[in-house]
Amino acid sequence: MTLKEWIAEQLAVRFQPSVLSVEDESDRHIGHAGWREGGETHFRIDIVSEAFSGKSRVDRHRMVNEALAEAFSRGLHALAISARAPGE
């Protein structure tokens, strides 16, 4: 399983999102800090879930970061996150 697939699975299980996209943007950061051969270091996540209703932006990002905490120790370097509740 690639890290991308792992991230998508974790988020799907944890948040039951109505919208979920996970993009590997690592090749846009070639040569920058954190990049490594083989990519899977920089991801962009777009997620819509009821779980974010009534939560602050910081709380939403923390929820996503916590769900993916293991990935940070596996070499994940940067996450761009858009986390919304339905209707936002």
Partner 1 sequence: MTDVHTRIDNEVKSNDVVLFMKGTPQFPMCGFSGQVVQILDYLGVPYKGINVLEDQDIRQGIKDYSNWPTIPQLYVKGEFIGGCDITREMFQSGELQQLFATKGIPVRQSA
Residue 20 beta carbon to partner 1: minimum distance, rounded to whole angstroms = 16
Q: Which residues of 8-41 are buried (b: 16+ CB within 10 A; e: fewer)?
A: bebbeebbebeebebebebeeeeeeeebeeebbb
CA–CA gap between residue 25 and residue 45 (Å, rounded): 10
When the beta carbons of 38 and 57 are compared against partner 1, the nearer one is 57
Is residue 58 a contact point for partner 1 (CB under 8 A)? Answer: yes
The residue type of 8 is A
Is residue 69 a contact point for partner 1 (CB under 8 A)? Answer: yes
When the beta carbons of 78 and 85 are compared against partner 1, the nearer one is 78
Residues at the contact surface with partner 1, assessed by CB under 8 A: 29, 32-33, 57-58, 61-62, 65, 69, 72, 78-82
